[in-house]
């Protein structure tokens, strides 16, 4: 699903990014970094104790995207990656982030992505199978009698 969101963003945002000074040959790199940033950021948030925040954001209950801490962290990381990996100066990276991240996250939290009924449903929809067992243990999937703190050891 995230791959589709990134592809949609690349198709729809290309002209807008060109208007702010992005060269056409930079688009592929920008959207590869966007994909990595969003994927890694959401995985990190989910496994770092913020699964509810990701789920609320996905289900459209994350509040304003401008004030959402998950979106803010993704934007900050995206700006840093654009600068370090593509050599884009901070000012331009900030402009690019201001276009790309809100677009992707609006689509992510929009009704067209669906609704997640449970944390495992969300992880499945996002294609994060590689974290399912760790999260499953934490949320009681393999040890329904255990508590969250008791299962934190399963992550390490």
**Four-residue CA torsion sign, 21, 25, 31, 34:** negative
What are the tens digits of pLDDT across the range 35-75?
Answer: 999 999 999 999 999 999 999 999 999 889 989 999 999 99
Can you give the pLDDT at residue 132? 56
What are the tens digits of pLDDT across the range 23-38?
Answer: 999 999 999 999 999 9
DSSP 8-state class, residue 47: I
pTM confidence score: 0.82
Can you give the pLDDT at residue 114? 86
**Rounded to an integer, what distance in angstroms lies between the CA atom of residue 38 and that of residue 121?**
19
How is residue 95 written in tokens?
């402009």
Asked which of 8-12, 42-46, 145-149 is least confident by mean pLDDT, the reply is 145-149
What is the radius of gyration, based on Cα positions, of the chain? 17
Q: How confident is the model at residue 107 (pLDDT cuts 50, 70, 90)?
A: very high
* Beta carbons within 8 Å of 71's beta carbon, 6+ residues apart: 57, 62, 65, 101, 102, 105
**Four-residue CA torsion sign, 131, 134, 135, 141:** positive
State the average pLDDT for the chain: 86
- Cα-Cα-Cα-Cα torsion 73, 79, 8, 59, nearest 10 degrees, comes to 10
Q: Span 90-112, mean pLDDT?
A: 95
Can you give the pLDDT at residue 142? 44
Higher pLDDT, 101 or 120: 101
Provide long-range contacts, Cβ within 8 A and 24+ apart, for 74-82. Answer: 74/37, 74/38, 74/41, 74/42, 74/101, 74/105, 75/101, 77/37, 77/40, 77/41, 78/33, 78/34, 78/37, 81/33, 81/36, 81/37, 82/30, 82/33
Q: How confident is the model at residue 150 (pLDDT cuts 50, 70, 90)?
A: very low
């Amino acid at each position: 699903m995230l791959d589709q969101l990134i592809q949609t963003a690349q198709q729809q945002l290309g002209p807008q990014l060109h208007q702010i000074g992005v060269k056409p040959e930079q688009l592929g790199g920008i959207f590869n970094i966007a994909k990595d940033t969003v994927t890694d950021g959401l995985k990190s948030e989910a496994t770092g104790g913020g699964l509810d925040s990701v789920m609320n954001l996905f289900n459209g209950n994350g509040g304003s995207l401008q004030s959402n801490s998950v979106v803010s962290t993704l934007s900050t990381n995206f700006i840093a990656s654009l600068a370090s990996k593509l050599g884009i100066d901070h000012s331009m990276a900030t402009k690019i982030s201001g276009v790309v991240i809100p677009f992707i996250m609006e689509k992510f939290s929009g009704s067209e992505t669906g609704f997640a009924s449970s944390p495992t449903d969300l992880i499945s929809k996002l294609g994060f199978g590689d974290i399912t067992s760790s999260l499953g243990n934490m949320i009681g999937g393999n040890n329904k009698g255990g508590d969250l703190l008791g299962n934190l050891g399963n992550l390490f």
